[in-house]
Structure 1
Amino acid sequence: MNIILDRPRIADGQDYSPPAPPPRLALRPANAAPGLLDGAWWPRSRDLTRELPALIDTLDRSWARVTRVAVHPSLWPVIPHKVPASGHVVHVGWFNEQDANKLLLLSYTTGRLDLLVIPPECDLAAATRLMAAAADPRCRRTASGIMADDECLTVRRGEADWEAEGGAPSAAGTAAMAVRAGGMWA
């Protein structure tokens, strides 16, 4: 009989957990003018306890020591009060007033980072577009604005494919695309 353990034991009896994969993160250049977003983060799941430590460890090394994180509760089924990071504990809070697609990270020494949160279920092509948009120094859109813009592009691409196969867009669909393309969504 074979026994497979989720966490193999090492010789001294300690649990061994494989290292977490590096976070999927894109940041604006350090010398860029301040904007509404400082970059984007694409977590692998909606489990903050599992996802935040790798993000915090990376930002502790490359940006500043993260002390607090704020999220919008609509994207996260469970929001822990504290998350362990390398050598310290980070407090996690939530705000309904915060942009639902944004993660706010605070540091006592440097200030704050605002990151677009790309849904874990997002496909690679869309996530790549969203990360590039959020990390672009010229971007002046909110996190939800970037998400809406990309959703609009996806709708347009789908309708273009449909039209190429002999269909025609509906009047309501055309009007909705015109409103989105005109920048009515923030």
Structure 2
Amino acid sequence: MTGTMSEPTIAPQQAVLPARLTLAGPDPGLRRTDGAWWPRSHDLGDELPALLIALNARWGRITRVTVDSGMWPISPRRMTLAGRVVHLSRCGTAAGRHKICLLSYGIGRCDLLVVPPESPPEEAGRLMEEARDMPCSMNL
């Protein structure tokens, strides 16, 4: 018997709350972090669609996402969003625990600091502002 596992499909009308996101300006200088994202939970299947929709205008069709397996203990290998497949991979390095890397074919990559969902609003706001304004990477 053959079969395939179905992948999560997210229709545009299913996009729930907008992503809590801050991005650095289009500064021509090199940056290690392009901004910050504060997801509402550790459920990547629930959180990623809103982020991809929010980044669409700036980074186009994101086709690959790399996340840390410690921050996102369960995640699908791929998902379909608005008719396109997004491949997800996980890494297990301490240096990437609070980062997400999004790749868009022909445009480049977007590296975001991930503010832990359980962070108090004041701390999350401070971290997001620092990630947006600082050209170097930050440690959490």
For the superposition of Structure 1 and Structure 2, which TM-score range results when normalised by the shorter chain? 0.7 to 0.9
Aligned position for 2:127: 130
Q: Following TM superposition, by how much is the alpha carbon of 1:89 offset from its aligned partner in structure 2, in angstroms?
A: 1.6
Provide structure 2 residue ranges, at least 5 long, that are not aligned to the other structure.
1-12
Report what 1:99 is aligned to: 96
Structural mapping, 1:21-170, within 5 Å: 21-97=17-93, 99-136=96-133, 138-142=134-138, 145=139, 147=140
CA root-mean-square deviation: 1.6
Cα separation, 1, equivalents of 2:110 and 2:14: 28
The amino acid of 1:29's aligned partner reads G
SS at match of 1:129: helix
Q: Unaligned regions of 5+ residues in structure 1, if any?
A: 1-16, 148-186
* Separation in structure 2 between the aligned mates of residue 18 and residue 112 of structure 1, nearest angstrom: 26
State the distance in 1 between where 2:56 and 2:35 align: 16
Q: What is the CA–CA distance in structure 1 between the aligned matches of 2:82 and 2:53, rounded to whole Å?
A: 6
Select between 81-90 and 63-72 the one with higher mean Cα deviation. 81-90
Q: Which amino acid aligns with 2:84?
A: H
TM-score relative to the length of structure 1: 0.64
Task: Write the distance in 1 (CA, Å) between the matches of 2:118 and 2:60.
Answer: 29
| Contact residue 133 and residue 139 of structure 1 kept, 8 A | no
Deviations 1:108-155 (A, max 9, x none): 11110100000101111001000001111x43124xx2x1xxxxxxxx
Q: Which has the higher contact order (CA 8 A, sep 6+)?
A: 2
When the two structures are aligned, how many residues end up with a matched partner?
A: 127
Larger radius of gyration: 1
Give the ranges of 4+ consecutive aligned residues of structure 1 lying more than 6 Å apart after TM superposition.
none
Partners of 2:39 and 2:60 lie apart in 1 by: 20
Distance 2:14 2:82 in 1: 15
